[in-house]
Amino acid sequence: MTSIIPAIDIIGGKCVRLTQGDYDRRSEYGDPIDMARAFEDAGCQRLHLVDLDGAKASHIVNYRTLESIATRTSLVIDFGGGVKSDDDIRIAFDSGAAMVTGGSVAVKQPDMMQRWIEKYGNGRIILGADARNGKVATNGWHEDSELDVVNFIAEYIDKGITQAICTDIACDGTLQGPSVELYSKIIERCHDLLLIASGGIGSMADVEALDKIGIKQVIVGKAIYEGKISLKEIEHLNLT
């Protein structure tokens, strides 16, 4: 069964969720440390943590929150948002991230991304491949590129990447279901990739639909916060 990776997005030190990446359409859900502990209590071992302030500022901002979660829980944290320099990635790892997701940097500074893969290993560097209408979007989804997302991921597999997070921006935060068609295309092209799906999950039925096409891990945020998927359901899944 596909495993659920809970997500915490941070703005101003608070746990938030955006709709389709729009900073003006956000809901707040309290303290991220309390939320992380609740996920840990539900049997989760992994956390997807995104610094939305960092994504907007183009440098890491909420590293203190990362550090607090890393020191107060045993969660394995993959961290993203604003990691665009050697200093940023050093701060992220020093603050407790087990893995770092490179999105904008993978598009705009591919040499740096390649250097990170070689320095830290492909087990610690995740490719961020967020898409709008099949094209890669960057800078907190504020900029669109002409890069086909499937080709983009395939090219990074040749560079050593073994895992990628792909969010279909049109689905994100809508609770209307994930982009099964897009993920199917990626899986068909990139057989050896660990593809982590993100965006649109509104129920356990959506998780099951992704399981059927071969997705092994899915990031879930708003569905948890809005009670569409309960912590008890996640705990039950973690026990099976």
Which residues have CB under 8 Å from 171's CB, separation 6+? Answer: 177, 178, 179, 199, 200
The answer to whether 21 and 29 have CB atoms below 8 angstroms apart is: no
Rg, Å, the chain Cα set: 16
Q: Is 94 a catalytic residue?
A: no
Q: Which of 51, 130, 172, 206 is catalytic?
A: 130
Q: Which of 9, 88, 172, 206 is catalytic?
A: 9
- SS3 category, 53: helix
Give the DSSP per-residue string, 57-123.
HTS---HHHHHHHHHH---EEEEESS--SHHHHHHHHHTT-SEEEESHHHHH-HHHHHHHHHHH-TT
**Residue 123: what are its φ and ψ, rounded to 5°?**
-75, -15
Active site residue 86: no
Strand 194-198 to 163-167 pairing = parallel
Distance CA 96, CA 64 (A): 10
CA distance 3 to 19: 23
Q: What residues are labeled active site? A: 9, 130
